[in-house]
Amino acid sequence: MEQKLILYSYWRSSASFRVRMALELKKLDFEIRPVHLLRDGGQQFAPDYQKLNAQQLVPTLVHGDLVLGQSLAIIEYLDEAFPHTPLLPESAAGRAWARMLAQVIACDVHPLNNLRVLGYLVEELGASESDRLAWYRRWSDRGLASVERLLRQRRRQTPFCHGEEPGLADCCLLPQVYNARRFDCRLEKFECILGICARLEALKPVQAAAPENQADAE
């Protein structure tokens, strides 16, 4: 496949960060098209963008005819279409475990704490700033505590979530921790998580994917 990979991304979006990490870790060539989630009332709501992403969310990956939303679906696609530097383990049990860990974050933490949900709490339910922060921290803390428990249960301790090299769950974990830091969540009890994140942040491909290093960063 020689078509160029195009990623619609917002620098601070946690789901975009996941996919950027996957693309960089797999050393794939890709072009970023920024979608500003706040400017112009949210560029994700523009009719042209909605044609690409039915949910009006970032990220979106375009690869030839394929137009794809949902960060985990995108990462698994990249891993299947470009099998070098795999982000998932080989065995069915190993893959299952990696997906479970990724989904604890992608299903049960992040969707509760994204922009549209925090906005609804304030605008529709009249939540105060402290309510909003407590909400954020509740789900962040619950989710990361589950991830920490799962990491400690691993039969074999590895430098990254599920192996000697970073993979699918790492692409979810670091962006979630990045977000948790923005919201001043207390993280010191999550020793396994912090160790993995420190190892990830030392890697050049991960640095290239980080929010502050994006062309659209503010």
> If binding is defined by CB under 8 A, does position 85 make contact with a second copy?
no
> If binding is defined by CB under 8 A, does position 103 make contact with a second copy?
yes
> If binding is defined by CB under 8 A, does position 96 make contact with a second copy?
yes
Q: Are strands 60-63 and 5-9 parallel, antiparallel or unpaired?
A: antiparallel
SS3 (DSSP) at 143 = helix
Residue 26 tokens, joined: 């797999």
Binding segment (CB under 8 A) for a second copy, from list 22-30, 97-105, 174-182, 199-207: 97-105
Query: What's the CA gap between 150 and 144, in Å, rounded?
Result: 10
Binding segment (CB under 8 A) for a second copy, from list 34-42, 146-154, 175-183, 188-196: 146-154
Which amino acid is it at 108? D
Q: 158 to 197, contacts with a second copy by CB under 8 A?
A: none
Residue pair 25/160 in contact (Cβ under 8 Å)? The answer is no
Interface map 41-80 toward a second copy (x if CB under 8 A): -------------xx-x-------xx-xxx-xxx-xx--x
State the DSSP string of 59-73.
-EEEETTEEEESHHH
Selected binder of a second copy within 42, 108, 115, 195 (CB under 8 A): 108
Closest CA to 5 of 217, 19, 102: 19
Query: What's the CA gap between 44 and 31, in Å, rounded?
Result: 18
> If binding is defined by CB under 8 A, does position 201 make contact with a second copy?
no
Q: Judged by CB, which is closer to a second copy: 155, or 204? A: 155
Closest CA to 108 of 80, 145, 82, 74: 145
Residues that bind a second copy (CB under 8 A): 54-55, 57, 65-66, 68-70, 72-74, 76-77, 80-81, 92-93, 95-97, 99-100, 103-104, 106-108, 110-112, 117, 120-121, 124-125, 127, 131, 134-135, 138, 142, 146, 149-150, 153
